[in-house]
Amino acid sequence: MNGFDSPALRRLRLKLAQQPVRLCCLATAVVVTLLFTCQVIRVKIPPRGEDMKHHFTVLSSPHDCDSRSRERDSVGSVFWTVLAGRRDRLEIQEKYWYELHAQGLITEVHLWDFTRHGYDLSEEEKRKNKEWIHQREEAHEFIKVKTVDGSSCRGAQSCFMLVYAYYGDHTQPNDVVVKADDDIVYVNASEFRCFIRYVAEGDNFLVSANVVNNAAIAHIQQELGMIPAHVGTFEYDLPSFGDPMLSSLYMSAQKAQDLHKYFIGHQSQFYSDRLVQIQHRFSVNFIAYPHRSAREVAALTQWALSVYSSVWRPWWNVVCPDEAVLTTYASTVLKKKETVYMRLVVAHAARKGQYKNDKRKVKEIVQMYKNLDAGGSH
């Protein structure tokens, strides 16, 4: 038999002939991906250890806002949205929902049900987490449990991207979307009013709170004198195209615990009326964006989902999660303005790398905030 006309080759030719549309779509996706790669590579990625000062700017004028004022006329509805999965963290966060809703500062809390994606949880634990979030919805009219269509995404990260699409279609002028990780365990609630006014009135694409335990923001905090050297050195290794933020904080549960302990003992030291504009990648643990950004946020995340989930799925969590496209790509390629609002201090329990490094220490961090006196925490 002619080796160039084997049954295997005939089957291959038949298969290729039957799938021209699929091949065309794949080729288009590859071209789009390569174009995106070229755009990212054109952005100057500094070598490890280069000073991040080139990528953040302390703005000269602080936000003029009286946190004691009751005014919020410029703000429409405020949606506090949580990618909800872990009850032990949410039990700490929920007191802020009630407090801020009672003050008229948040309209609804949206608990997106990601309980099935909880890593290292038994099926029984996942079931109890699901029951807990639905019990909150039944008990409080302003709390809504929402779900994504799991058939249109693969894995937690790609499903997360669909949450942003919802707000592209369900916000009105002057509305604000606040996206909080489920392990935000402290919020300086007295500054939340000024935070949402700044988001609604400013010209930012998105705004981050002043997050404790966030690689990029910890570096800024140390540069501004909030974290002394004896707590640790909080460098920020800027990621290359295929390299996540592998700073020592990102990978060390011990370092995260040391930082949390220092913060709990020196909360006022982390407060500042400064605004810091940042032009590179940072973790989106607690961000907010206005209605005017909502459709573009949805479009960017949906574009990333469609391209990377089909072409570069093995690299999905490294190359282009929501934070990469909404921070690195938006600020460096699209030249969007992104700011850290230093007045609103929040604490983020742990990153996944820290959890994998030492689960016991992460549980101790969560317990630290459970023990924190609620009356003196905000």
Residues 23 and 83 occupy one common structural domain? no
Whether 290 and 222 map to the same domain: the answer is yes
Provide the pLDDT for residue 150: 67
22 and 73 both lie in a single domain:
no
- Residue 115, domain extent: 43-376
CATH number of the domain enclosing 108: 3.90.550
Are 31 and 82 in a shared domain?
no
Q: Are residues 78 and 20 in the same domain?
A: no
Beta strands in 302-360 (DSSP E): 338-348
Amino acid at 307: V
CA distances from 103 to 96, 115, 190, 330, 377 (A): 11, 29, 10, 33, 17
Domain check: are 19 and 61 in the same one?
Answer: no
Total domains in the chain come to: 2
Domain identity same for 32 and 153: no
Tell me what pLDDT residue 339 has.
Answer: 96
24 and 64 in a single domain? The answer is no
Rounded to the nearest angstrom, the gap between the alpha carbon of residue 19 and the centroid of all alpha carbons in its chain is: 38
| Sequential DSSP letters for 236-265 | -----TT-----HHHH-HHHHHHHHHHHHH
pLDDT of 40: 41
Same domain for 12 and 95? no
Report the pLDDT value the prediction gives residue 145, as an integer from 0 to 100: 95
Q: Are residues 120 and 193 in the same domain?
A: yes
- Res 13: pLDDT: 57
Q: Is 357 found in the same domain as 242?
A: yes
Q: What residues have CB less than 8 Å from 84, skipping those under 6 apart? A: 90, 111, 112, 113, 114, 115, 129, 133, 145, 182
Residues (pLDDT < 50) of the chain are: 1-4, 16, 21, 23, 25, 27-50, 240-244, 312, 314-320, 376-378
pLDDT of 80 reads 98
Q: Is 289 helix (H, G, I), strand (E, B) or coil?
A: strand
Predicted pLDDT of residue 316: 44
- Model-level pTM? 0.82
Q: Are residues 106 and 200 in the same domain?
A: yes
8 Å CB contact between 156 and 126: no
